[in-house]
Amino acid sequence: MNKYDYIIRLENEKDYREVENLAREAFWNLSVPGCTEHYFIHMMRDHEDFIPELDYVLEMDGKIVGCVMYCKGKLVDEQGNTKEILTMGPLCVLPEYQRKGFGKALLEHTFALAEKMGYDTVINFGNPDNYVARGYKSCKKYNVCFEGDIFPAALLVKVLKEDALDGRKWFYHQCDADKCCEDEEAVERFDAEFPPKEKAWQPSQEEFYIHSHSAITW
């Protein structure tokens, strides 16, 4: 994609508020009225599992229009063997720049780097529509689940190396960086630092409910 002149570079401290605002714009009213992702990003940069080497922004004409971040996660098999993997997210692009290939560019750039860093598996929750074209597959296809043998429909797995997962059952333990978002007052306090924005219902919230409450059972 060369029709746009952009650079993909590491996020730096001066970008923090611009990136948080970008996340707020991208996620606002998408999954719930309002959103928590800007607070999540704000807090996750200090989390022990956050990976600064994979914290990238996409910049066009001096403006940051997209970002992607990763944390360390792990898979544990039934014998207790552990495998370090990546949990991807948030990934977001400013609404007026969406569906032009920028999300794809951010993922492909960071997947290549992650592979060089020695990672072979990326996992995230998400709407499959956004990820299957990037080679993500259902967690069920790789036998990756939650304790209790739950295979969430929105749990998506991308292998960076073909033989990364060998068919044995793996239990996914995600990084707990998003726990901070359960503190609704803290989210509200943080959100008040940004320009006012109206919380509202929109159909994507029902889509999110369906995806996030579904599991693959056969």
Binding mask 68-97 for ligand COA (x = CB under 6 A): -----------------------xxx----
**Binding-site size, ligand COA (CB under 6 A):** 18
Pick the closer one to ligand COA by CB: 77 or 108: 108
> Quick check: 212 binds ligand COA (CB under 6 A)?
no
Give the residue, chosen from 72, 100, 109, 173, that forms a contact with ligand COA under the rule CB under 6 A: 100
SS3 readout for the chain: CCCCCEEEEECCHHHHHHHHHHHHHHHCCCCCCCCCHHHHHHHHCCCCCECHHHCEEEEECCEEEEEEEEEEEEEEECCCCEEEEEEEEEEEECHHHCCCCHHHHHHHHHHHHHHHCCCCEEEEECCHHHCHHHCCEEHHHHCEEECCCECECCEEEEECCCCCCCCCCEEEECCCHHHHHHCHHHHHHHHCCCCCCCCCCCCHHHHHHHHHCCECCC
Instruction: By CB under 6 A, name the one of 47, 74, 104, 173 that touches ligand COA.
Output: 104
Query: According to CB under 6 A, which one of 67, 103, 110, 121 is a site residue for ligand COA?
Result: 103
By CB under 6 A, the residues from 14 to 73 that bind ligand COA are: 26-27, 30
Which of residues 83 and 100 has its CB atom nearest to ligand COA in the complex? 100
Binding site for ligand COA (CB under 6 A): 26-27, 30, 91-93, 98-104, 126-127, 129-130, 133
